[in-house]
Amino acid sequence: MSGPAGLPPLREVIARHGLGARKSLGQHFLLDLNLTGRIARAAPGIDRGSVIEVGPGPGGLTRALLAEGAAQVVAVEKDSRCLEALAELAAAYPGRLEVVEGDALEIDLAELGTAPRQIVSNLPYNISTALLVRWLIALAADPKAFSAMTLMFQKEVAGRLVAAPRSRDYGRLSVLTQWLCRARALFDIPPRAFTPPPKVTSTVVSIVPREEPLAPASLESLEKVTAAAFGQRRKMLRQSLKSLGNPAPWFEATGIAPTARAEELSVEDFCALADCIAGG
């Protein structure tokens, strides 16, 4: 079957360009056009500004984004073997696909393309949380850096992003993500949909930045307090926060019980503690 715009099937592209998957680059290719189309349609308003795609690989999701009407896709790929295949795709969609060879852990995505910028990616799992934290740091500095992020994670990581207090998965990543964004798990994709199949199920997550953070706090102190609290998540806060100073006045100022444990605190509670700690 031919793909959109009469392009050759992805399996043929992979074979012709010798794109055997490399584990070190987290390569699991999604070749099912129904699924790539579903991810592209989950990204809001792609007809404006730029979609920044991290790790296009042979270009399956890239094709779907273009076919679904993305005004411009800027695709950042570390594996130079993929560049020729992506150049063919760029030629099929003149002026709408820019390919950047490079490492998404080093490139400032907020400088690529034009605003509003959104990120869409079937992320390389080995660096998915490092990438997300990097983009959250950019959003803490500028809530308009990205208008949306539609990202595929391992199901277990997706669970941590959307977890509510008092659940097993609630932790640092939940607090940092939900402080700045609204995060929602959209749908799962089974291992068999990928070539080669990963060991685990994947989940597509919608992460939409809030206009303003949920509560005032500095990223630095929020990182410190969540690291201390969740670093010893079974301990009461009066014990786990000791590494940051004498916590007694912070409990008094916030009304948070010294006997509470990290997982019982809301995102707003963590912000209140972070604010006290930053205030000295």
Least Å distance, CB 175 to ligand SAM, is: 25
Among 13, 28, 51, 128, indicate the residue that binds ligand SAM (CB under 6 A).
28
Least Å distance, CB 221 to ligand SAM, is: 29
Tokens 């630095």 identify what position? 220
Among 3, 43, 78, 177, indicate the residue that binds ligand SAM (CB under 6 A).
78
Least Å distance, CB 118 to ligand SAM, is: 15
SS3 of the chain: the string is: CCCHHHCCCHHHHHHHCCCCCCHHHCCCEECCHHHHHHHHHHCCCCCCCEEEEECCCCCHHHHHHHHCCCCCEEEEECCHHHHHHHHHHHHHCCCCEEEEECCCCCCCHHHCCCCCEEEEEECCHHHHHHHHHHHHHHHHHCCCCCCEEEEEEEHHHHHHHHCCCCCCCCCHHHHHHHHHEEEEEEEEECHHHEECCCCCCEEEEEEEECCCCCCCCCHHHHHHHHHHHHHCCCCEHHHHCHHHCCCHHHHHHHCCCCCCEHHHCCHHHHHHHHHHHHCC
Task: Please report whether residue 55 would count as binding ligand SAM according to CB under 6 A.
Answer: yes
Among 54, 66, 145, 180, indicate the residue that binds ligand SAM (CB under 6 A).
54
User: Of the two residues 124 and 209, which places its CB atom closer to ligand SAM in the complex?
Assistant: 124
Site string for ligand SAM, 84-123 (x = CB under 6 A): -------------------xxx----------------x-
**Contact range with ligand SAM by CB under 6 A, out of 44-52, 76-84, 219-227, 272-280:** 76-84
Task: Please report whether residue 76 would count as binding ligand SAM according to CB under 6 A.
Answer: yes
User: Of the two residues 26 and 171, which places its CB atom closer to ligand SAM in the complex?
Assistant: 26
Least Å distance, CB 107 to ligand SAM, is: 8
Compute, in degrees rounded to 10, the torsion defined by CA atoms 233, 239, 245, 250. Answer: 80
Least Å distance, CB 51 to ligand SAM, is: 12
Least Å distance, CB 142 to ligand SAM, is: 22
In the region spanning residues 122 to 151, those forming contacts with ligand SAM, defined by CB under 6 A, are: 122, 124, 127
CB 239 within 8 A of CB 272: no
CB 153 within 8 A of CB 205: yes
Task: Please report whether residue 61 would count as binding ligand SAM according to CB under 6 A.
Answer: yes
Least Å distance, CB 273 to ligand SAM, is: 34
Q: Give the binding site for ligand SAM (CB under 6 A).
A: 25-30, 54-57, 60-61, 76-79, 103-105, 122, 124, 127
